[in-house]
């Protein structure tokens, strides 16, 4: 689960903007220099361009970069240029800032979309406006374009995507008395706005009272944005690039308070992360799990079926039904949120080197390599072309819920978001541990935000 770079943000504010902090590009190795000298002397030796990549081995990311290196060099052969990857160890956000202070910034690295703002302010990354005209991204949804751009420029190339379905125990619904047709038709009712969030709460309450499950809801974390959007609590104004403090948060807090009172959620809900809840859900202990796409694969591993996809799909069809997060109001649209990964380009990459970096990144996002990552990680591909891959079409869960990304919202890249969300979760903690009311929770939230989010970065709605 992605942690906010709280210490990193403090460092950024204390040391100021680090752009240009490195006087030399650490990726320019002696191999680059010797190859260039050889070329100037008329030799046939290729020009070597070394690109440092901050190691990220999760899913198929590293394998994809290695294959992309191979494809890039095939494309550059006619130019007598050879790209070589220089692998750097993966480190946390705070260490990224410390290394930047020392002038050591990788040419390419992967981080969350929410990190764009503070990374830009810290001088870790540079603009990559070539994304706007790249053939790779020509057909991605507008929501992806919005994710990759910030403050008037493109700063990230989206690497993978997910959505936030609700996984519901089919066995629990059957225990309540639902028929197969009712269960299979649930998603359509959510899409049309006929089935609402309060309806889902009532089902969880009923399942728990009948002892069909031990827990009503499990959730990725207590700031779960999917719930916020369902209640129309929108906390960010993209046009003004400001956080929004709005009384709509009270509606979300009212849900939390009601769910806690009815024991649909437990006091320790924030401690039960997806690693813990996946085996619980598999055992039938949870009525509904609010999580991202990757939870589908986490259940497969919890089932001991990591290498037996066919058997897992049979189990899934018999035990699970998924829906989008329903709207809290009748006739409302379902919602979804994501925290996609971005490929960033380090500030030390100059315009001369950028075309090679661009070609490498575009090859990383080749349709077949995206699906390699989907198979390994459970994340969704980011381009329609990748969704045409036969392997993707064979994975019914991924194929069927890919439409969610068309309306999936993302966390804002504004650095103040971490502070804002801390205030929001203080209200939730008060409800869970101190039986606070929705009004009391909102008062805590409001006080925290007004004290710690700069006034010129905040819109307050009364």
User: Nearest Cα to 93, choosing from 446, 418, 444, 452?
Assistant: 418
- Whether residue 14 is predicted with pLDDT greater than 80 in this model: the reply is no
List the single range of 27-31, 77-81, 92-96 with lowest mean pLDDT. Answer: 27-31
Cα angle 277-158-121, degrees, rounded to a multiple of 5: 100
**Confidence tier at 36 by pLDDT (50, 70, 90):** low
Helix, strand, coil shares of the chain as percentages rounded to 5?
A: 50, 15, 35
**Confidence tier at 16 by pLDDT (50, 70, 90):** very low
Report the pLDDT value the prediction gives residue 43, as an integer from 0 to 100.
Answer: 63
Query: Which whole number is the average pLDDT over 331-353?
Result: 94
Query: Which whole number is the average pLDDT over 321-343?
Result: 94
Residue 308 vs residue 330, higher pLDDT: 330
pLDDT tens-digit readout, 243-256: 999 999 999 999 99
**Confidence tier at 29 by pLDDT (50, 70, 90):** very low
Report the pLDDT value the prediction gives residue 6, as an integer from 0 to 100.
Answer: 47
Give the number of residues written for the chain: 462
Mean pLDDT of the chain: 88
Q: Are strands 149-150 and 153-154 parallel, antiparallel or unpaired?
A: antiparallel
Report the pLDDT value the prediction gives residue 106, as an integer from 0 to 100.
Answer: 96
List the single range of 5-19, 157-171, 202-216, 303-317 with lowest mean pLDDT. Answer: 5-19
Query: Which whole number is the average pLDDT over 248-275?
Result: 91
Report the pLDDT value the prediction gives residue 2, as an integer from 0 to 100.
Answer: 41
Report the pLDDT value the prediction gives residue 195, as an integer from 0 to 100.
Answer: 98
Which residue reads 């690497």 in tokens? 159
List the single range of 79-83, 359-363, 406-410 with lowest mean pLDDT. Answer: 406-410
- Whether residue 302 is predicted with pLDDT greater than 90 in this model: the reply is yes
Which residue reads 């069909």 in tokens? 212
Q: Cα separations (Å) of 274 from 216, 277, 291, 298?
A: 15, 5, 7, 8
**Confidence tier at 1 by pLDDT (50, 70, 90):** very low
Q: Supply the pTM of this predicted model.
A: 0.82
Report the pLDDT value the prediction gives residue 223, as an integer from 0 to 100.
Answer: 76
Report the pLDDT value the prediction gives residue 70, as an integer from 0 to 100.
Answer: 98
Q: Please give the backbone phi and psi of residue 382, each rounded to the nearest 5 degrees, phi first.
A: -105, -5
Report the pLDDT value the prediction gives residue 114, as an integer from 0 to 100.
Answer: 86
8 A C-beta contact, residue 173 and residue 302: no
8 A C-beta contact, residue 383 and residue 136: yes
Report the pLDDT value the prediction gives residue 147, as an integer from 0 to 100.
Answer: 86
- Whether residue 452 is predicted with pLDDT greater than 70 in this model: the reply is yes
User: Nearest Cα to 105, choosing from 46, 53, 49?
Assistant: 53
Report the pLDDT value the prediction gives residue 42, as an integer from 0 to 100.
Answer: 55
**Confidence tier at 34 by pLDDT (50, 70, 90):** very low
Q: Exposed, middle or buried by CB within 10 Å (0-12, 13-18, 19+), for 276? A: exposed
Query: Which whole number is the average pLDDT over 341-346?
Result: 96
DSSP letters along 344-369, please?
A: EEBTT--TTTHHHHHHHHHHHT-HHH
- Whether residue 107 is predicted with pLDDT greater than 60 in this model: the reply is yes
8 A C-beta contact, residue 321 and residue 184: yes
- Whether residue 411 is predicted with pLDDT greater than 50 in this model: the reply is yes
Report the pLDDT value the prediction gives residue 66, as an integer from 0 to 100.
Answer: 97
Report the pLDDT value the prediction gives residue 328, as an integer from 0 to 100.
Answer: 96
Which residue reads 């500030």 in tokens? 347
**Confidence tier at 196 by pLDDT (50, 70, 90):** very high
């Amino acid at each position: 689960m992605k942690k906010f770079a709280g210490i990193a943000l403090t460092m950024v504010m204390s040391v100021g903007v680090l752009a240009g902090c490195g006087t030399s590009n650490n990726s320019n190795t002696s191999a680059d220099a010797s190859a260039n000298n050889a070329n100037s002397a008329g030799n046939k030796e290729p020009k070597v361009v070394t690109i440092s990549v901050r190691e990220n081995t999760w899913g198929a990311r590293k394998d994809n970069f290695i294959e992309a290196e191979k494809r890039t060099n095939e494309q550059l052969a006619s130019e007598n240029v050879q790209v070589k990857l220089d692998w750097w160890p993966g480190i946390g956000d705070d260490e990224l800032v410390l290394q930047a202070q020392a002038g050591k910034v990788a040419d390419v690295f992967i981080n969350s979309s929410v990190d764009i703002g503070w990374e830009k302010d810290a001088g870790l990354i540079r603009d990559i406006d070539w994304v706007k005209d790249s053939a790779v991204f020509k057909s991605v949804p507008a929501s992806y374009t919005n994710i990759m751009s910030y403050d008037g420029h493109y700063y990230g190339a989206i690497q993978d995507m997910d959505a936030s379905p609700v996984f519901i125990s089919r066995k629990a619904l059957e225990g309540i008395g639902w028929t197969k047709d009712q269960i299979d038709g649930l998603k359509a009712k959510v899409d049309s706005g006929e089935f609402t969030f309060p309806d889902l709460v009532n089902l969880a309450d009923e399942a728990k009272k009948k002892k069909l499950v031990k827990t009503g809801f499990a959730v990725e974390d207590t700031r779960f944005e999917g719930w916020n959007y369902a209640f129309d609590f929108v906390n960010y104004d993209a046009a003004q690039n400001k956080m929004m403090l709005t009384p709509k948060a009270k509606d979300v807090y009212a849900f939390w308070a009601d769910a806690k009172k009815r024991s649909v959620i437990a006091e320790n809900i924030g401690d039960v992360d997806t690693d813990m809840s996946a085996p619980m859900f598999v055992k039938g202990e949870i009525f509904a799990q609010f999580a991202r796409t990757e939870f589908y694969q986490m259940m497969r591993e919890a089932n001991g079926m990591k290498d037996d996809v066919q058997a897992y799909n049979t189990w899934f069809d018999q035990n699970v039904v998924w829906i989008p997060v329903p709207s809290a109001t009748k006739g409302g649209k379902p919602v979804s949120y994501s925290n996609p990964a971005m490929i960033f380009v380090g500030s030390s990459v100059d315009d001369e080197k950028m075309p090679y970096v661009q070609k490498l990144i575009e090859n990383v996002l080749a349709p077949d390599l995206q699906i390699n990552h989907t198979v390994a990680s459970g994340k969704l591909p980011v381009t329609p072309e990748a969704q045409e891959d036969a392997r993707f079409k064979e994975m019914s869960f991924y194929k069927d819920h890919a439409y969610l990304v068309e309306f999936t919202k993302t966390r804002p890249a504004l650095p103040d978001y971490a502070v804002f969300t801390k205030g929001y979760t203080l209200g939730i903690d008060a409800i869970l541990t101190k039986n606070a009311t929705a009004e009391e929770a909102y008062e805590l939230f409001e006080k925290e935000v007004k004290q710690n989010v700069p006034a010129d970065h905040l819109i307050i709605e009364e």
